[in-house]
């Protein structure tokens, strides 16, 4: 029997995330809005970036008034946001994030995300898997998820990226996850995916870029192997970092064993990043992120 995780109640639980210039009365304004709309706070986190003078907040709340639906709440929060110069998103906490997964020839991250989704550990829907190879077509079939083989060469890259954007539009995709998708996206595509595409990098950035990172790590005699999940930007592997982790290793591990250890870290780090993004726990702050774990 699969383990199911509790889910927010549809139409009753919401998540409000906001950022704005820091000023007095912000928390009072938000809490006052909730009180006026029969809101009960289930979880609240905030952060003052004193260096930049910006305020960040995430509030998970439920409402008892059946007439206080999502659109009504958005309409009523508008004047509050305008008064304080707030950038904000209000969403139904129960709505799963529609997530398209891209993969090449390494399937450990894909397999982990599929399993976590099936068991309810991630509040996401996966409408499609896209790959430039066919290795994981049967895995997708096992989970009942449509698999799209989109080959990529130097000459066909524009057509492949156009196909990806077409799929995103047709499937109403919220998030793209590069689960060891070993193709560099064009600058134009990166800009179109800004803030809604997550990549997993097989090192503790910015170390060991390029080919065969674990061989590079072995040659340098590393004592830690890590992974970094970050948003995709046109600056290769330099997007805003969401999550990182490391595991201690020693001289006894050969490059193949380092790969095995590293893949475990990659899968866990990527799963954390996808979970936090899908729960509106990640907010971009310039080149950094605020993560309300």
pLDDT tens figures, 208-260: 666 677 788 778 787 888 899 999 998 877 889 999 999 998 889 888 888 89
Domains and CATH numbers, the chain: 13-92 (3.30.70.260), 97-291 (3.40.50.170)
Whether residue 180 has pLDDT greater than 90:
yes
Tell me how far apart the alpha carbons of residues 43 and 238 are, in angstroms, rounded to a whole number.
31
Q: How large is the average pLDDT for residues 156-173?
A: 96
Residue-wise pLDDT for 126-141, tens only, equals 999 999 999 999 999 9
CA distance 48 to 161: 39
Q: Which two tokens stand for residue 129?
A: 């898997």
Name the average pLDDT for the chain.
Answer: 92
Average the pLDDT over each of 83-92, 154-163, 255-264 and give the range with the smallest value: 255-264
Backbone angles phi, psi at 212, to 5 degrees: 50, 60
C-alpha dist (Å) from residue 17 to 46, 121, 165: 10, 22, 27
Closest Cα partner for 107 from 135, 83, 84, 130?
A: 135
Question: How does DSSP assign 82-137, residue by residue?
Answer: HHHT-EEEEEETTPPEEEEEEE-S--HHHHHHHHHHHHTSS-EEEEEEEESSSTTH
Q: Which residues pair with 231 in a beta bridge?
A: 198
Closest to 274 in 3D by CA, of 92, 117, 90: 117
Across the range 42-51, mean pLDDT stands at 95
Instruction: Please report which confidence band the pLDDT of residue 2 belongs to, taking 50, 70 and 90 as the band edges.
Output: very low
The whole-number pLDDT of residue 217 equals 76
**Dist CA 264 CA 274 (whole Å):** 16
Q: What is the pLDDT of residues 57-81, one digit of tens each?
A: 999 999 999 889 999 999 999 999 9
Mean per-residue pLDDT, 99-121:
97
Contacts of 162 (CB under 8 A, 6+ apart): none
Over its C-alpha atoms, the chain yields an Rg (Å, rounded) of: 21
Locate tokens 């590293």: which residue? 262
* Confidence category of residue 204, pLDDT binned at 50, 70, 90: low
Percent of the chain whose predicted confidence (pLDDT) is above 70: 95
- Catalytic, out of 22, 174, 215, 237: 237
Per-residue pLDDT for 106 more than 60?
Answer: yes
Percent of residues, the chain, with pLDDT higher than 90: 78
Q: DSSP secondary-structure letter at 26?
A: H
User: Tens of pLDDT along 115-128?
Assistant: 999 999 999 999 99
237 is catalytic: yes
> Mean pLDDT across the stretch 169-175?
98
What average pLDDT does range 32-39 have in this prediction? 97
pLDDT at 10: 79
């Amino acid at each position: 029997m699969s383990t199911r995780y509790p889910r927010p109640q549809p139409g009753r639980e919401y998540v409000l995330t906001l950022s704005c210039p820091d000023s007095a009365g912000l928390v009072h304004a938000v809490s006052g809005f909730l009180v006026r709309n029969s809101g009960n706070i289930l979880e609240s986190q905030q952060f003052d970036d004193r260096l930049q003078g910006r305020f960040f907040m995430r509030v998970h709340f439920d409402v008892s008034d059946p007439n206080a639906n999502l659109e009504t709440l958005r309409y009523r929060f508008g004047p509050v946001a305008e008064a304080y110069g707030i950038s904000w998103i209000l969403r139904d906490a129960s709505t799963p994030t529609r997530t398209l997964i891209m993969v090449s020839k390494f399937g450990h991250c894909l397999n982990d995300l599929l399993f976590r989704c099936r068991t309810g550990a991630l509040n996401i829907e996966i409408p499609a898997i896209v790959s430039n190879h066919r290795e994981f077509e049967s895995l997708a079939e096992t989970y009942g998820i449509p698999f799209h083989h989109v080959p990529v060469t130097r000459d066909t890259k524009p057509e492949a990226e156009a196909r990806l954007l077409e799929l995103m539009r047709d499937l109403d995709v919220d998030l793209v996850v590069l689960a060891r998708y070993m193709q560099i996206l064009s600058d134009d595509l990166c800009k179109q995916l800004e803030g809604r595409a997550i990549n997993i990098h097989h090192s503790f950035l910015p170390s060991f870029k390029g080919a065969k990172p674990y061989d590079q790590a072995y040659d340098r005699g590393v004592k830690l192997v890590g992974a970094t999940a970050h948003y995709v930007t046109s600056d290769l592997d330099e997007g805003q970092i969401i999550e990182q982790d490391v595991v201690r290793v020693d001289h006894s591990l050969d490059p193949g064993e380092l790969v095995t250890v590293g893949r475990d870290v990659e899968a866990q780090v990527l799963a954390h990043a996808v979970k936090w993004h899908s729960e509106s726990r990640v907010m971009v702050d310039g080149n950094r992120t605020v993560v309300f774990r």
